[in-house]
A and B are shown apart, each in its own frame.
Chain A
Amino acid sequence: MLFLIEYDRNQGEVVTIREYSSTDRQSAETARLDLELELNRRHQKREVVLLEAASEEALRKTHRRYFENLSQLVEAS
């Protein structure tokens, strides 16, 4: 699955997350460009990234920074 993430670095929080099928990479990439253009027009600084993982659970393990706060990151795993 593909996940299009809009992340606010200053707040350390995901603003939006959209899912696409892995076979629909073209749509996901077009959506990424559209989102970047929109944010640029609004002069909003956000990180926009497209990630591909087997599931959202897998994504949350390899890219914890987007989903967890500092305390959660240092919980023993």
Chain B
Amino acid sequence: MLRLSKTQIDRLGDRLRKGDITEADLRLLDDYRRSFGEAYELVVGAIRSELGLEPTGRPAKSTTSISEKLNRESIRLSQIQDIAGCRLVVPDILEQSRVIGLLAGLFTNTTTVDRREKPSHGYRAVHVIVRIEEKLVEVQVRSSLQHVWAELSEKLSDLVDPRIKYGGGDEWFVRFLQNTSNMILGLESGELQWIDRKKRVSLLLAKHGSDPERREKLLALQRRVQDIEKEETELRNELFQMLRHSLDTLPREEGGSDAISD
């Protein structure tokens, strides 16, 4: 494998940005991407063996995604942080925070980009970037609801307009994704509270359950938390109902992709 200089990498990036990609460029890019192999294996291997988690790894970003990123942002190829990476999808936001803490403890050199409170064009997730010597490996940690939003945004970008996931394109899609992201933020804020309360009530019941007076009060509290949990589940179902309804009414251009109506 060739060891490319930073200048060679960035010149390759300039050619990828222009779009006229030669065979020689594809081979060079392949060499560059393979140079992340060792760092990738170390990071993904440690997540599997030390944390017992099962991420889906992406040893190298696709050529299409690299070219698009170079065109979209004023960034050099050598500066792209997610050439290699992996993704973890966890059930809820509380588990997401736990996993982020584990990742920060597992690797010595990490940077955490938390897009949960400050989303990027509606995209909410946490990216933990691990540095292994001079190579970066991005670990995406998404809750299940954040994941639904991200996949939906990607799919609409594939089928309708690649600008959609970066807040561009038809206004309908921008509003639809923004509103959905806000609803998920609201749901997850509520989720955070009831999951935490549920745990605390269980702990208190285990500790003071033998005292009849305390037990009664704690059981009443437990029922209240269960009611909140039910309400949250209903809200979650309503969100999916709203999404299905919105997609039934999404704007279609004449002669547009048939794949949208699948």
Indicate whether B247 reaches chain A with its CB closer than 8 angstroms: yes
The answer to whether A10 touches B257, judged by C-beta atoms less than 8 angstroms apart, is: yes
The SS class assigned to the A binding surface is: mixed
A42 at the interface (CB under 8 A from B): no
Which A residues, 28 to 77, have Cβ-Cβ distances below 8 Å to chain B? 29, 32-33, 36-37, 40-41, 45-54, 58-59, 61-65, 68-71, 73-77
Contact indicator A25/B262 (Cβ below 8 Å)? no
User: A62 with B154: in contact, given A36-B26, A50-B59 (CB under 8 Å)?
Assistant: no
Interface set, chain B 1-40, CB cutoff 8 A to A: 21, 23, 26-27, 30, 34, 37
Q: Are B57 and A53 in contact (CB under 8 A)?
A: yes
Inter-chain contact A10/B89, CB cutoff 8 Å: no
Interface status of B236 (Cβ within 8 A of chain A): yes
B243 at interface by CB-CB < 8 Å:
yes
Number of A-B contacts defined by CB within 8 Å: 113
Is A16 interfacial (CB-CB < 8 Å)?
no
Residues of A within 8 A of B151 (CB): 64-65, 68, 73
19 sample A-B contacts, Cβ–Cβ < 8 Å, listed by A number: A10-B259, A12-B159, A12-B257, A29-B34, A33-B26, A33-B27, A36-B30, A50-B60, A51-B58, A52-B57, A52-B58, A53-B54, A62-B147, A64-B151, A70-B260, A71-B244, A71-B262, A74-B148, A76-B236
Rank and list the top 4 A-B pairs by shortest CB-CB distance, nearest first.
A52-B57, A69-B262, A62-B56, A74-B243
